[in-house]
Amino acid sequence: MKPRDRLRIAMQKSGRLTEPALDLLNRCGLTFRQSRDKLFCFGEGEPVDLLLVRDDDIPGLIAQGVCDLGIVGRNVLSEYQYTAGQGGPELAEWRPLGFGRCRLSIAVPQEMAYDEAAQLQGRRIATSYPGLLGQWLRERGLDAGVVTLAGSVEIAPRLGTADAICDLVQSGGTLVANQLREVEVLLESEAVLAGPQSLPTDERGDMIDLLLKRLDGVIQVRESRLLLLQPSRHALDAVIRLLPGGPQPTLLPVAGQPDQLMLQALCAGEVSWRQLEEIKKAGAREMFVLPVEKMLA
């Protein structure tokens, strides 16, 4: 294949991952001009283009070298490795992206007794994930019938085509609506940045490197807050002990108030009202919690 000098990222054309994936790329400073057929989006600033496809096609496109990276659910990536991708190049999960969270679980009809996996022996399980389910059964030495369905897996037990199902669960609402209950979790999933095991050695490798750094910054700030407050000098130790996790805080003098300090701390994750109230009680005032927009370590 002719070497490309622009990076190409595959993402879902239309579905649950589309909006958050595009938002994430935008936050990394990547913007795109959408083409008329909406399959290919040309990158405006950086040499990075998008290919909009069905999520199931993403691992294959990376394996074939049509795309350099892809944003896809771990569930789809892992399933590909066990099925269509077997014998092909190994794909790597470069970064977990923190959206599209769900789990691949086995669920049984509510009235079916279930205490342990051995009870699935000889049963029929409907799924769109035969690779992952097959592997899970093999690891436990279980022999169960895997009924592969493209969709509407949850109605299989009612139709009598399966005794149990193995499908994605998020809130659990679909299971409840179909009188099923979750009994085993096979995989915790979220959207991931997928790519080949090793980076290309040309400019695309450099571009991926840059993108990964920006991505790390974006993911980190998404979960970061900047905490500003004024502790009195004598309460400083007590206040610092109560700060949520993060790097060492910065301390500055406050003009005209020798007993006061200005403290600035980066916190990983939310800072709750309760935490603020406790810090205040320990001897701080003028407290602000600010979102962080960009960060480059």
167 binds ligand PRT (CB under 6 A): yes
CA 96 vs CA 26, 80, 120, 153: distances in Å: 17, 17, 32, 27
- Candidates 173, 256, 258, 291; binder of ligand PRT (CB under 6 A) is 173
CB of 105 to ligand PRT, least distance (A): 9
Q: Which does 174 bind (CB under 5 to 8 A by kind): Zn ion, ligand PRT, none?
A: ligand PRT
What is the chain's alpha carbon radius of gyration, rounded to the nearest angstrom?
Answer: 25
Q: What amino acid is encoded at 279 in this protein? A: I
CB of 100 to ligand PRT, least distance (A): 4
H or E stretch covering 104 = strand 102-109
93 binds ligand PRT (CB under 6 A): no
Q: Angle, to 10 degrees, between the axis of helix 203-222 and the axis of helix 18-27? A: 100
Rank residues 163 and 167 by Cβ distance to Zn ion and give the closer one: 167
Q: Which does 168 bind (CB under 5 to 8 A by kind): Zn ion, ligand PRT, none?
A: ligand PRT
Reference 79, options 9, 166, 200, 145; nearest CA is 166
CB of 73 to Zn ion, least distance (A): 9
Which residue carries 């994605």 as its tokens? 168
83 binds Zn ion (CB under 5 A): no
- Candidates 34, 121, 170, 257; binder of ligand PRT (CB under 6 A) is 170
Q: Which does 52 bind (CB under 5 to 8 A by kind): ligand PRT, Zn ion, none?
A: none
85 binds ligand PRT (CB under 6 A): no
179 binds ligand PRT (CB under 6 A): no
Instruction: Give the SS3 label for residue 155.
Output: helix
Reference 211, options 77, 70, 12, 56; nearest CA is 70
Restricting to residues 34-73, which ones interact with Zn ion according to CB under 5 A?
55-56
Q: Which residues contact 113 (CB under 8 A, 6 or more apart)?
A: 119
- Beta-ladder partners of 51: 10, 40
Residues that bind ligand PRT (CB under 6 A): 12, 15-17, 54-56, 73, 75-76, 100, 102, 167-174, 189
Residues that bind Zn ion (CB under 5 A): 55-56
